[in-house]
C-alpha cells in the first residue's frame, strides 16, 4: 500500500502544470538579474525544470504586455530584456513579431531599412515582415521614406524620426523635382562673384587674386540672400563643378585655400573681356595665385609658363 501511494503521488505531481503567473514571475526575476538580456542558453540553464513551450508562451505574454522587449544580436540571437517602466507605451498591444520588427528599425535609426534588410536580420519570412510593417504603419509607429533617385524603393523607419540627409532630395530639389531655376540663379551669382574678383585683380596690386576659395563663394551667396536655406560647402562645390564643366569657371591647386577647400576657383579665360578698360585682366600674372613665388631661376618661373606664353601670342 505504501508503494502504491508513492506511485499515485508521483503521477498526480507529474500532471500538475506550472502556474503561468509563477513562470512569468521567474522570467521577470531572471531578466532583472541579467540586464543585458536573456538568451535561450540562460533559459535552459535557469529554467530547466519548465517546459520550453510554456516558457515561450509566457515570454510572448510579457512582451505583449510591455514588460519585456525582444532584441536581436548581430548573429541573429534573440534576447529578452526588461522594458523600462517609462518606455514608450505605444507598443502596448503589439504582438511579439511586431515588437521585434519595431526594435530592429529602432536600431537602424534615421537611415532606416528595407524589408529585405529586416528579413535578413530577423530570419522571419518575407510575408511576415510585410504584415508587421503594414500593421506598424497603420498604427503610425513606422513610416515609409522613398530615397531620392529611387522612387520605387521603400525604406522604413520609426515614425518620429527625420530621415538621414542621404535619403532626402537635397537642396536642389523641390516638391516637383529638380529645381533648375534655383540652380540657374546660383550659377549666375557664382559667376558674378568671380567676375568681380577678376575685375578687382585687374585694377589693383598684383597680389590681389582673381581666384576664390569655396568658403568665399559660400559667404558671398549667403550675403546675397538668393537662397532661403543655408547652402553647405558641398552645395556650392556642386554648382561650381557644373560651371567648370560648362567652361565658365576653371580651377587650380589652392595653396591658400581654406581648410574645407582643395582648390581655388576663378573665371575661365574664355569669359574674360578681350578689350577696353578691363583689358589689363588679360595679363595672367595679375591674377596668378602663385605670382609672389614666381621668379626666373625659381621652381615657379615665367620662363616656360604656358599661360604667359599664350597671353603673349594673344591666345589668353
Question: Are 156 and 112 in contact, with CB atoms under 8 Å apart?
Answer: yes
CA distance 187 to 156: 36
DSSP codes of every residue in 167-191 = GS--TTEETTEE-HHHHHHHHHHHH
Give the start-end residues of each E strand in the chain.
68-72, 78-82, 142-145, 155-158, 173-174, 177-178, 249-253, 263-267
Quote the mean pLDDT of the chain. Answer: 77
Sign of the C-alpha dihedral computed for residues 245, 246, 252 and 253 taken in this order: negative
Proportion of the chain in helix, strand, coil states, percent, rounded to 5: 50, 10, 40
Q: Do domains 15-167 and 173-312 have the same CATH topology?
A: yes
Long-range contacts of 145-154 (CB under 8 A, 24+ apart): 145/112, 148/173, 153/114, 154/114, 154/115
Answer yes or no: is pLDDT of 9 > 60: no
> Quick one: pLDDT band at residue 301, thresholds 50, 70, 90?
confident
Grid cell at residue 229: 536655406
The rounded Cα 25 to chain-centroid distance in angstroms is 42
> Residue 72: CB partners within 8 Å, gap ≥ 6?
78, 79, 100, 103, 104, 121, 122
Beta bridge partners of 143: 157
Asked if 195 contacts 267 with a C-beta cutoff of 8 angstroms, the reply is: yes
Does CATH number 1.10.10.10 belong to domain 173-312? yes
For the chain, domain boundaries: 15-167, 173-312
- For residue 308, the tally of other CB atoms under 10 A from its CB is 18
Q: What is the architecture of the domain spanning 15-167?
A: Orthogonal Bundle (1.10)
**What are the tens digits of pLDDT across the range 185-203?**
888 899 989 988 888 877 7
Which residue(s) pair with 263 in the sheet?
253
The rounded radius of gyration (Å) of the Cα atoms in the chain is 35
CA–CA gap between residue 13 and residue 276 (Å, rounded): 110
- Over the stretch 35-94, which tens digit does the pLDDT of each residue have? 878 888 888 888 888 888 888 888 888 877 778 877 766 566 778 888 766 556 677 778
> d(Cα 130, Cα 136) in Å, to the nearest integer?
10
Which residue has better confidence, 309 or 279?
309
- Rounded to two decimals, the pTM is 0.39
pLDDT digits over 146-188, tens only?
776 566 788 999 888 877 766 666 677 665 566 788 888 888 8
Amino acid at each position: 500500500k505504501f508503494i502504491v501511494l508513492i506511485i499515485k503521488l508521483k503521477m498526480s505531481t507529474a500532471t500538475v502544470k506550472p502556474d503561468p503567473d509563477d513562470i512569468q514571475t521567474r522570467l521577470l526575476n531572471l531578466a532583472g538579474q541579467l540586464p543585458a538580456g536573456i538568451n535561450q542558453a540562460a533559459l535552459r540553464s535557469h529554467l530547466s525544470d519548465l517546459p520550453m513551450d510554456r516558457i515561450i508562451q509566457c515570454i510572448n505574454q510579457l512582451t505583449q504586455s510591455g514588460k519585456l522587449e525582444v532584441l536581436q544580436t548581430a548573429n541573429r540571437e534573440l534576447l529578452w530584456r526588461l522594458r523600462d517602466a517609462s518606455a514608450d507605451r505605444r507598443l502596448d498591444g503589439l504582438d511579439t513579431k511586431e515588437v521585434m520588427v519595431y526594435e530592429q528599425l529602432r536600431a537602424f535609426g534615421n537611415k532606416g531599412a528595407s524589408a529585405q534588410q529586416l528579413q535578413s536580420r530577423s530570419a522571419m519570412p518575407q510575408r511576415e515582415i510585410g504584415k508587421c510593417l503594414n500593421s506598424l504603419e497603420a498604427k503610425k509607429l513606422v513610416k515609409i521614406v522613398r530615397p531620392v533617385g529611387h522612387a520605387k524603393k521603400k525604406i522604413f523607419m520609426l515614425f518620429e524620426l527625420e530621415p538621414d540627409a542621404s535619403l532626402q532630395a537635397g537642396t536642389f530639389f523641390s516638391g516637383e523635382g529638380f529645381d533648375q531655376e534655383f540652380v540657374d540663379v546660383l550659377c549666375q551669382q557664382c559667376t558674378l562673384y568671380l567676375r568681380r574678383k577678376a575685375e578687382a585683380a585687374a585694377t589693383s596690386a598684383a597680389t590681389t587674386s582673381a581666384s576664390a576659395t569655396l568658403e568665399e563663394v559660400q559667404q558671398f551667396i549667403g550675403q546675397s540672400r538668393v537662397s532661403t536655406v543655408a547652402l553647405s560647402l558641398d552645395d556650392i562645390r556642386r554648382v561650381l563643378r557644373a560651371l567648370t564643366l560648362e567652361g565658365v569657371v576653371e580651377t587650380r591647386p589652392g595653396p591658400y585655400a581654406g581648410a574645407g577647400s582643395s582648390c581655388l576657383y576663378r573665371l575661365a579665360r574664355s569669359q574674360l573681356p578681350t578689350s577696353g578698360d578691363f583689358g589689363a585682366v588679360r595679363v595672367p600674372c595679375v591674377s596668378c595665385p602663385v605670382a609672389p613665388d614666381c621668379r626666373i631661376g625659381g621652381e615657379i618661373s615665367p620662363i616656360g609658363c604656358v599661360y604667359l606664353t599664350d597671353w603673349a601670342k594673344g591666345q589668353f
